[in-house]
Structure 1
Amino acid sequence: MFLFPKDEDLSKAWAKQVQRTRKDWEPTKYSVLCSEHFTRDSFDESALLRAQMGIATKRTLILKKGAIPTVFPRVGTSAVGQLSTSTSRPARSAFAMRERKRKVEELLAESVVESSSFASTEESMEMATDTDMAPEQERQSQDQACQTDWTPTATVSIKTQTGKQLTKTQSKDNATIDWLIVLHY
């Protein structure tokens, strides 16, 4: 819903458009018009793009400076009565929220797979050593560790505006690394 502008000339232009269908109508300080009375080119394009991408903002539609409402069906046409009479904001549907989450996950997966690099073996392994043993307990053997077919994964976590944590883990199916580590004591 859009309040009538404070600029007197622009407010008169809006009122004139409304009076095409309501002859003696005069705006008050509480008068509003919904987005259905404006053409698409009356809105800020960046706000429209954010809305189409599912990015939540305070206002989905933002009028351009100087926009004038032009969509007012004439009385007696079949289009009258088809405009929404709802004054409350529609509730967010679960489907729309799932779609936004799916889009975010899809975009994250694409960027993670493209930009992920393999962690070094030193960072990705935990090795136990026997350095805490007393000298009489020292081992005289050789320990070996071997792991094959290691599939690296990339994990990205984001925090939404509402504070919800989203985590996406992506593995590269075609990246297999074989490695062998030999420890001598």
Structure 2
Amino acid sequence: MVRRCVVSGCSNTANDELNISIHSFPTDVKRQRTWEKNVQNTRAKWSVKNPRTTYICSAHFLPDDFEEGPIWMVGSGIDVTRKRILKPSAVPTLFPTPSQIHQGTGDFATATPPAKRHRSAYFEKREKTQVLDSHFPK
């Protein structure tokens, strides 16, 4: 399952090239409500159903909301990466304006489009059977 940002007008997923990370909602009820109210500025009447499976991307946080994590050795030890960690006090405050959402401009224009849904194998098989049955009646 792809982790996708819940903010309206943003469909970001984790992307190392664009330095976008995905963060789950806090389980602390007070902090969760604060995050939820901020997201509701872009999505009226929206609410968190499960904080562990509800995500918001790093584009909605200030640079000061992150701290540098430990250094991770990748591969043979030559590649080094540092994971950004969201501070416990961080609150999402950067949201696209309605005009940015409509025009696809601003920092949120780099949002990845939602993946196309593929028809289920069952649906495709049923459709093929219907076509064959219409051409070759039993």
Normalising by structure 2, we get a TM-score of 0.50
Q: Structure 1 or 2: larger helix share?
A: 2
- Higher RCO (C-alpha under 8 Å, 6+ residues apart): 2
Please tell me whether Structure 1 or Structure 2 has the larger radius of gyration of its CA atoms: 1
Normalising by structure 1, we get a TM-score of 0.38
